[in-house]
Structure 1
Amino acid sequence: MYHARELTVSTRGRGFHDITAEVQQAVATSGARQGLCTVFLHHTSASLILCENADPDVRKDLEAFFARLVKDGDPLFQHDAEGPDDMPAHVRTVLTQNSLSIPIQDGEAKLGTWQGLYVWEHRTSPHRRRVTVSVLG
């Protein structure tokens, strides 16, 4: 059986947006007891990450690392049609991921004890991001 659900995530600009509960709800609604859940983000300037969810400093440190690695307004980049964060957002996405696969066991996405699913917005302004959760069970 196959089940899909589309989520809309309204971001407040650069940062992390926890979608763990919404993904778990999509899996539960599907009725699958065993299988695979794929989460896909339909954008090129935001990412999906599987990250520690216990200590928010982990996400702060990730943002600090990427701010150092891929600077807004870097003169290296020619593509700046939507501002100084335009190309850096694309680079951040390419260095991370826009799709995740999670096993389903006993009717839930089987995440580790300290794992959460996040949309990581790379643009500085708010956006509405579309995420498709597909369940194959």
Structure 2
Amino acid sequence: MTFQTRGRGTQAITREVAEVVACSGIACGLVQVFVQHTSCSLTITENADPDVRRDLDTVLDRLAPDGDPAYRHKDEGPDDMAAHVRNVLTDTGITVPVGAGRLLLGTWQGIFLWEHRSAPHRRTVVVTVIG
């Protein structure tokens, strides 16, 4: 799947992943979701209050600030190395159990593509259903 991000922040992809699971015909198993990039990531987090995701961005802003003079890698601008650090601190892949042909997420859980670059990017996500 491909997603166009809006720049730094989270984008819900739960519905798209759930559709892949439903179309797979697998009733019980696992779904592996993997993003093929080094400056964005995937996460499972709060799906009701967007302030949670904004606060997570705030934490990463503090841990990996744009333009830190200690960074050597600056090929694509001041947010480039910070995005790589954020990717390493989070994850490029997640696994979710599948039961009765659907994602077994908790009530308040959603799957999010987390863009770490300031500008919008086209991101490729691989979804594999195993069962």
Instruction: Report the TM-score range of the alignment, normalised by the length of the smaller protein.
Output: over 0.9
What's the counterpart of residue 83 of structure 2? Answer: 89
Partner residue of 1:104 out of 98, 108, 111: 98
The code of the aligned residue for 2:126 comes to T
Q: What whole-Å deviation, never above 9, does each CA across 1:95-114 have from its counterpart, x for those lacking one?
A: 00000011100000110110
Deviation at 1:12, TM superposition (A): 1.0
Distance 1:93 1:60 in 2: 16
Q: What whole-Å deviation, never above 9, does each CA across 1:2-52 have from its counterpart, x for those lacking one?
A: xxxxx1010011011100000000000000000110000000000000001
Structure 1 vs Structure 2 CA RMSD: 0.5
What's the counterpart of residue 63 of structure 2? Answer: 69
Q: What whole-Å deviation, never above 9, does each CA across 1:53-104 have from its counterpart, x for those lacking one?
A: 0111100100111111110000110001000000000000000000001110
The SS at the match of 1:57 is helix
Matches within 5 A, 1:1-137: 7-137=1-131
Q: Percent identity?
A: 56
The code of the aligned residue for 2:93 comes to S
Structure-1-length-normalised TM-score: 0.94
Distance 1:110 1:24 in 2: 10
- Deviating runs (4+, > 3 A) in structure 1? none
The code of the aligned residue for 1:110 comes to L
Structure-2-length-normalised TM-score: 0.99
What's the counterpart of residue 3 of structure 1? Answer: none
Unaligned runs of 5+ residues in structure 1 are 1-6
